[in-house]
A and B are shown apart, each in its own frame.
Chain A
Amino acid sequence: MATHQFPALRRLIQEVGPVDQVGIDERVAKYGTRSIKKNAKVFGLKLATTMVDLTTLEGKDTPGKVASLCQKALHPHDDPAIPPTAAVCVYPAMVRHAAKWVKGTSVKIASVATAFPSGQAPLKTRLAEVRAAVADGADEIDMVINRGAFLAGEINLVQDEISAVLEACGECTLKVILETSELETYDNIRAASFLAMRVLRPGDFIKTSTGKTNLNATLGNNQVMLEAIRDFYFETGIEIAMKPAGGIRTAKQALHFLVAVKETLGDAWLSNSRYRFGASALLNDLVRQLVKEKTGVYQAPYTFSESSSAY
């Protein structure tokens, strides 16, 4: 009988090293105790605003909804000191509608593709979707990995599919969604991060989640992925970007995520070419806090819409 060999996923985890869940959760709890005041707060809020991928991913999305989303991304508030967001993020069918509003501006068009959010479609279909989004004018593609294959241990298949999508992307930036809540363990999240990074180009992203499951971006999975990016950077010199998505609704949460970036990857990642927030409601809270910092008072609740569908 042949020598026993661990399955491929177990070997990958051994190769990239394990993660201790208690330790990670303890580490990220400390980010929440950082006190961000005055100028540091204003800087952080503005930085976070420039990092938002303002997102609408609903069955009821219409050209009209996408138009107002684009306006919001370009001008989050009357105050010109509040910068535009990094991008809008829409379904492939909405890319051409978004293009009418933001093409030629600083706001990029990101499109989810590859049978988002489940990814459960034939590869051919997924790649066709990516090509269609690119053809319609997308600047960035947010793909989902094949979690079924990952959990079944077919990690080479997962990686090959990422490579195929990358090729279909052409010049577009690629963001690889791991869907952390379905991978479940920090060990798996770290392994999947490496799996993706090893085929990505500098400046491509790894991304936590689709926003369509119960548990999306957390400081914990954000930290695991930031540390993976750091270790990969030291190993290869390749700078991979990061995008937590889903569940970041308040400005305070966003600042805690940025503290994690500052203290794990440093100043070079504090830019929207290296770090993004996939969010919708977050933008209004960022604007609310920025106006509060400027005027010293909170505005009436109806000044900013709480609902992300009411841009």
Chain B
Amino acid sequence: MPAKKINPARELLFGNLWEYDPAPESAPAFIDNRYGLFINGKFVAPKTKKYFDSISPRNEEKLSEIALAGAADVDAAYQAAATAFKPWSKLPGIERAKYLFRIARLLQDRAREFAVAETLDGGKPIKESRDFDVPMAAAHFFYHAGWADKLDHVTPGRTLVPLGVIGQVIPWNFPLLMLAWKIAPALATGNTVVLKPAETTSITALKFASILQDAGLPPGVVNFVTGAGETGSAVVNHPLAAKIAFTGSTAVGKAIQRALAGTGKRLTLELGGKAANIVFDDAPLDQAVEGIINGIFFNQGHVCCAGSRLLVQESIAETILSKLKIRLKTLRTGDPLDKNTDIGAINSKAQLTRIQDLVAAGISEGAEIYQPACTLPKNGFYFPPTLFSNVSQSHRIAREEIFGPVLSILTFRTPEEAVEKANNTHYGLSAGVWTDKGSRILKMSTELKAGVVWANTFNKFDPTSPFGGYKESGFGREGGKQGLLDYATLH
């Protein structure tokens, strides 16, 4: 028998033998040239008479003009919401449920259109907006439609009483989904809403306003005011607000908390994170690698609960790193509208600059960088998937939230050291544990100071599961029974 040749190189070639052709999603997004403010059930021109451009991060082209809401506009929105509160809160739960159910169905009917709009506006890959953001947003409305007529059963013997007008400020990473997380529980419990989307991603909220109109939601129950920080501040500080619900950066969250101190307004904050994803030496390695990839590169790493700190047991660090490098070679970075894109566009120029700065800090502090060879589109904001190895706890890239496709890899020796390192952060939003040993999962989950602990998976969400943080990742929960309690008082 002739001995066949053994390839000594031991490299896998991920070349262009079979290149996928471009597969752009072609469904229209139906984005208007200009959007007003959505107040009292109607689109109205802003009293400021000012508009700002919303551009697409995929190619920096202008998508639409968005109204800039001033204090007077925000006041009009609050007045409308306050007027709507009485009849809305008195409506039997089963009637409110019908509206929520209708909203969910209408969103499903227009799922593709919303997915394309979300991708154009925010830069996330179409496969994520199509398979995650939009279906999950609809799921939140369905779930809370189920609760609306069962509020007497949330806490046995007591009932939930709505708070009033809720001011809500949401971020740009999951524009439509965060809107759903905020609006659905507020409406189910009988509150009315003034919501401000992020200034770079207002479009799906404004499109969503047309769903509210189609669903026949009474005017004023939900109002959208658009703009940047000043508008947000007007929303937060308005005297008619009974509660503020904010998702965004820890710095802004702290400012809001200071502003609200002593006003008697309720507050929930869902802020930043620097999640530890902990891999033990007995873990199913390839699935752990997949989970690490999903944990940090999902939505370009623009995820507050992203697994941005990888803690690997020292004995398998080399193996994991080489597996990660191979996996990175098959990730496709580029036009988010292409159905085969895994990593899309960075949301804004400002965010891209921040990522570049932190990556530069990582290099200058001596961490070892790895980026796969990939061609990025000329226009638009893009950043290649990035690994940093030889990272220690004191590095900026191990402490600060990068909010981009950048993974910092640290090692540990024992479970105790893993817990110590995982908890050694200001944040406490999420964590991941990878091990084949069930008892270790349970032990770790009680010791990790994080609102969500995933075991042998990462970045899994469900409307029934409460989500929220420890420490500087915020307080209050969204989703589940616990999420309802943050929109009501118990009587």
Q: Which residues on A are within 8 Å of B, measured CB to CB?
A: 17-20, 22-24, 26-27, 33-41, 43-44, 47, 170-171, 201-203, 227, 230, 233-234, 236-239, 258, 262-263, 265-268, 270
21 contacts between A and B (CB under 8 A): A18-B283, A19-B286, A19-B287, A20-B284, A22-B456, A23-B284, A23-B287, A23-B291, A33-B339, A39-B21, A40-B19, A40-B21, A41-B21, A170-B1, A230-B12, A233-B7, A234-B10, A237-B6, A237-B7, A239-B6, A267-B15
The answer, yes or no, to whether B14 is at the interface (CB within 8 Å) is yes
Structural contact, A268 and B12, CB atoms closer than 8 A: yes
Structural contact, A237 and B285, CB atoms closer than 8 A: no
- A173→B126 CA distance, assembly (Å): 44
Structural contact, B6 and A266, CB atoms closer than 8 A: no
Structural contact, A23 and B456, CB atoms closer than 8 A: yes
Structural contact, B290 and A23, CB atoms closer than 8 A: yes
- A171→B1 CA distance, assembly (Å): 6
- A63→B328 CA distance, assembly (Å): 51
Structural contact, B15 and A18, CB atoms closer than 8 A: no
Structural contact, B12 and A227, CB atoms closer than 8 A: no
| Distance (whole angstroms) from the CB of A49 to the closest CB of chain B | 14
Instruction: Determine the residue in chain A with the shortest Cβ distance to B6.
Output: A237
Structural contact, A18 and B284, CB atoms closer than 8 A: yes
- A202→B5 CA distance, assembly (Å): 8
- A268→B17 CA distance, assembly (Å): 9
Structural contact, B14 and A19, CB atoms closer than 8 A: no
- A40→B21 CA distance, assembly (Å): 6
- A38→B340 CA distance, assembly (Å): 14
The answer, yes or no, to whether B152 is at the interface (CB within 8 Å) is no
Instruction: Determine the residue in chain A with the shortest Cβ distance to B130.
Output: A33
The answer, yes or no, to whether B330 is at the interface (CB within 8 Å) is yes
| Distance (whole angstroms) from the CB of A57 to the closest CB of chain B | 28
Structural contact, A201 and B4, CB atoms closer than 8 A: yes
The answer, yes or no, to whether B447 is at the interface (CB within 8 Å) is no
Which residues of the partner chain A approach B17 to less than 8 Å between Cβ atoms? 267, 270
CB within 8 A of A238: which of B6, B16, B436? B6
Structural contact, A266 and B14, CB atoms closer than 8 A: yes
Structural contact, B340 and A34, CB atoms closer than 8 A: yes
CB within 8 A of B12: which of A19, A38, A201, A265? A265
Knowing A27-B290, A237-B8, A237-B10 are in contact, say whether A37-B21 is a contact too (CB < 8 A): yes
- A36→B340 CA distance, assembly (Å): 9
Which residues of the partner chain B approach A267 to less than 8 Å between Cβ atoms? 13-18
Structural contact, A270 and B18, CB atoms closer than 8 A: yes
Structural contact, B4 and A203, CB atoms closer than 8 A: yes
- A230→B322 CA distance, assembly (Å): 13
The answer, yes or no, to whether B131 is at the interface (CB within 8 Å) is yes
CB interface residues, B 1-45, toward A, < 8 Å: 1-2, 4-8, 10, 12-23
- A268→B7 CA distance, assembly (Å): 11
Which residues of the partner chain A approach B19 to less than 8 Å between Cβ atoms? 40
- A36→B21 CA distance, assembly (Å): 7
Which residues of the partner chain B approach A236 to less than 8 Å between Cβ atoms? 6
Knowing A23-B284, A23-B287, A33-B339 are in contact, say whether A38-B13 is a contact too (CB < 8 A): no
Which residues of the partner chain A approach B20 to less than 8 Å between Cβ atoms? 34-37, 40
| Distance (whole angstroms) from the CB of B254 to the closest CB of chain A | 37
Which residues of the partner chain A approach B23 to less than 8 Å between Cβ atoms? 35-37
The answer, yes or no, to whether B249 is at the interface (CB within 8 Å) is no
- A35→B340 CA distance, assembly (Å): 6
Structural contact, A19 and B10, CB atoms closer than 8 A: no
| Distance (whole angstroms) from the CB of B264 to the closest CB of chain A | 46
Which residues of the partner chain B approach A263 to less than 8 Å between Cβ atoms? 14, 330
| Distance (whole angstroms) from the CB of A258 to the closest CB of chain B | 7
Structural contact, B7 and A35, CB atoms closer than 8 A: no
- A19→B456 CA distance, assembly (Å): 11
| Distance (whole angstroms) from the CB of B469 to the closest CB of chain A | 25
- A262→B2 CA distance, assembly (Å): 29
The answer, yes or no, to whether B127 is at the interface (CB within 8 Å) is yes
Knowing A20-B287, A238-B6, A266-B13 are in contact, say whether A35-B339 is a contact too (CB < 8 A): yes
Max chain A Cβ within 10 angstroms of own Cβ: one of B7, B8, B18, B291: B18
- A23→B1 CA distance, assembly (Å): 41
Instruction: Determine the residue in chain B with the shortest Cβ distance to A224.
Output: B286
CB interface residues, B 287-327, toward A, < 8 Å: 287-288, 290-291
- A35→B23 CA distance, assembly (Å): 6
The answer, yes or no, to whether B282 is at the interface (CB within 8 Å) is yes
The answer, yes or no, to whether B457 is at the interface (CB within 8 Å) is yes
